Amino acid sequence: MAIWMHRRLSKKYGIQIPRRCKIGYGFYIGHGIGIVINGGTVIGNNVNISQFLTIGSNKGTPAVIGDNVYIGPNVCIVEDVHIGNNATIGAGSVVVKDVPEGATVAGVPAKVISYKEPGRFIKDRYVIGE
């Protein structure tokens, strides 16, 4: 029944997150439409994503996303990149290189634009260990 519901809702909302994808606690989808995530992607705790996100891989080595990461709308994360904890990825960015911890990146290709206020857009964080 769960598999059937997963397929039905995936088609209805245009969200493709395979069951084998590893996702931490507090995962939040801001606007649930047009999201495609590769099955081998590892997503940390308290990650917030927005609409029209693509996390892909042609070579079978998708992204590893740290904890407390905000990913804006229309973002494309390509191949084997590591996104550090408390990072922010701006709208419309194409991430092709690793993102350092606490950095805000934006642009095509994404470049570090700031280290101020790391993880500032993460709302309602799930506290682990309490």
Beta carbons of 119 and 100 less than 8 angstroms apart: no
86: containing domain: 2-114
Edge-to-edge strand order for the sheet containing 76-78? Answer: 15-16, 35-37, 54-56, 76-78, 94-95
DSSP-derived letter for residue 127 is P
Is 120 a domain residue?
A: no
CA atoms of 2 and 115, how far apart (whole Å) = 42
Token pair 């609409």 in the structure block, residue: 51
Beta carbons of 86 and 108 less than 8 angstroms apart: no
Q: The whole model's pTM is what?
A: 0.87
Beta carbons of 20 and 42 less than 8 angstroms apart: no
Is 103 a domain residue?
A: yes
pLDDT, tens digit (0-9, with 9 covering 90-100), for 69-122: 999 999 999 989 999 999 999 999 999 999 999 999 999 999 999 998 877 777
How many domains does the chain fold into?
A: 1
DSSP-derived letter for residue 107 is T
Is 50 a domain residue?
A: yes
Residue 11: give its domain's CATH number. 2.160.10.10
Is 85 a domain residue?
A: yes
Residues taking part in catalysis: 31
pLDDT, tens digit (0-9, with 9 covering 90-100), for 32-70: 888 999 999 999 999 999 999 999 888 888 899 999 999
